[in-house]
Structure 1
Amino acid sequence: MVECSDESIYTGLTNNLDRRLKEHNFGRNDNSYTSKRRPVKLIWHQEFMQFAQAEYFEKKIKRWSCAKKLALANDEYDMLPLLAECRNESHAKNKDLDKN
């Protein structure tokens, strides 16, 4: 995961981390998400033995909130379950909270 200059988080996968960071920061593709959000800085990475595992985890993280991604990057593992809870008004846990 990299943090962009606009404080958004980009999640991706690669087989060469150094090369990929350079590509993000030097603009390999003008249409990419990070091209207008440079510079980017690496905030977290994980190595996997199999591509399928890396791809599965990347897709999972991409759905996370920015706060949850930052908790992972900051080694705040105890925050991950809390940040995973749904906080929408329509969520079943929140029903009848206003009634007394």
Structure 2
Amino acid sequence: MTAFVDMLRCADGSYYVGSARGESLDGRLAEHQAGTRIGYTYHRRPVTLVYAEWFDRTTDAIAMERRIKCWSRAKKEVLIAEDWDRVQFLARRPSARARAPNPTTSS
């Protein structure tokens, strides 16, 4: 059964990251918009879907959700922008980033 990770931008500018299996992405977004899911997004509506990724295995979707939840806001935003060079750059330790060329300033 397939599963997905989704990231929503809330009305207050924060991000919500979740995962689900066997559900419709549109249906899940509609539940968040309607407030039928009491939780983080309930008082932060409306929400906008900014990222989604599908997985063949539920465990992979859950692992990715947990990984993204720990990311900085900057790293979440480059994921949304699908800037894979910046995602990799921001994944490095700060000391390694200081020595590496920054992809946004490279030609």
TM-score calculated relative to the size of structure 2: 0.75
**Correspondence for 1:81 among 77, 88, 98:** 88
Partner Cα separation in structure 1 for residue 27 and residue 60 of structure 2: 21
Match of 1:64 among 60, 71, 83: 71
Distance apart, 1:70 and its partner CA: 1.0
Give the letter for the 2:32 counterpart.
H
Q: Which residue of 1 aligns with 2:10?
A: 4
Per the alignment, residue 103 of structure 2 pairs with none
Counterpart of 1:74, as a letter, is A
What percentage of residue pairs aligned between the two structures are identical? Answer: 39
Q: 1:67: how far off?
A: 1.1
2:42 maps to 1:35:
yes
Higher strand share: 2
After TM superposition, where is structure 1 displaced by more than 3 Å over at least 4 residues in a row? Answer: none
SS of 2:54's equivalent in the other structure is coil
Partner residue, 1:97: none
- Alpha-carbon distance between aligned partners in 2 of 1:52 and 1:63, rounded to the nearest angstrom: 17
Cα distance in 2 between the residues matched to 1:66 and 1:23: 24
Task: Name structure 2 gaps, 5 residues minimum.
Answer: 1-6, 97-107
**Taking CA–CA contacts closer than 8 Å with sequence separation of 6 or more, which of the two structures ends up with the larger relative contact order?**
2
Structure 2 residue 25 is the aligned partner of structure 1 residue 17: yes
Quote how far apart the aligned CAs of 1:62 are.
0.6
- Indicate yes or no: 2:51 matched with 1:51: no
The unaligned stretches of length 5 or more in structure 1 are 88-92, 95-100
Query: Aligned pair count?
Result: 88
Give the RMSD, CA atoms, in angstroms.
1.6
